[in-house]
Amino acid sequence: MGVKQGRLTWPFHSTPSDAKRFFEPLFGVAVFRDCFDRLKPAIDTFQLQTHEHQGSLAVEQQKIADRAASAQQLAEAQQAVAELEKYRSAAIEGRESARKEKERHEIREKTLSTANSAHEKATVTLTGASARRADAGTQVKEAEVAAGILRDSEPAHLAFLKSGTGFGQLGATARKEGYPAKATGHRRV
């Protein structure tokens, strides 16, 4: 088969529209266009799904990036929980200690109340005893005064008794001898 000189390169040097008319039937471009036109809705759907999946992929990648520090955050959260547990344990121990201290104070309060009651009773008893002592002191003073009076009047009393005995003997002697009793206005019965 022979090709005239200069004709083989002519389609490559021609205008785009002339080259198109030459090469399209040669390469079967119409078949490709027909397939492309028929596959265009599928391609559009695929591109739309690809775009949606890329959006979902971006969201998931962001989640992965956000959770990339999850291991560190988990360790920090576990440490915080451990610290809170220590704080809670200390608070429970403090509460128990405070309860025991409260019980000790309640026992002390009861003891103090009992002691105060005993003190009040002792004060009342002391007040009564002081009043009785004051009365006894007054009676002792009165007794001392009476004893002083008795001491002072004892010689006179003894003299009186002695004289009464002497008068009694004298009267008895006078009666024996027959002297009449002196009229005193009293009658003997």
What tens digit of pLDDT does each residue of 39-97 get?
899 989 999 999 999 999 999 888 888 877 777 888 888 899 999 999 999 999 999 99
| Contact residues for 127 (Cβ-Cβ < 8 A; gap 6+) | none
| Mean pLDDT for the chain overall | 83
Give percent above pLDDT 90 in the chain: 45
**CA 155, CA 149: separation in Å to the nearest integer?**
11
**CA 98, CA 66: separation in Å to the nearest integer?**
46
So where are the chain's domains? 12-177
Q: Are 61 and 53 in contact (CB under 8 A)?
A: no
More confident call, 33 vs 108: 108
Using one digit for the tens of pLDDT, what is the confidence trace for 85-96? Answer: 999 999 999 999
pLDDT at residue 107, rounded to an integer: 95
Helix, coil or strand: residue 150: helix
pLDDT at residue 176, rounded to an integer: 73
pLDDT at residue 50, rounded to an integer: 94
Q: Tell me which residue of 116, 119, 139, 115 sits closest to 127, measured CA to CA.
A: 119
Q: Is the pTM of this model over 0.75?
A: no
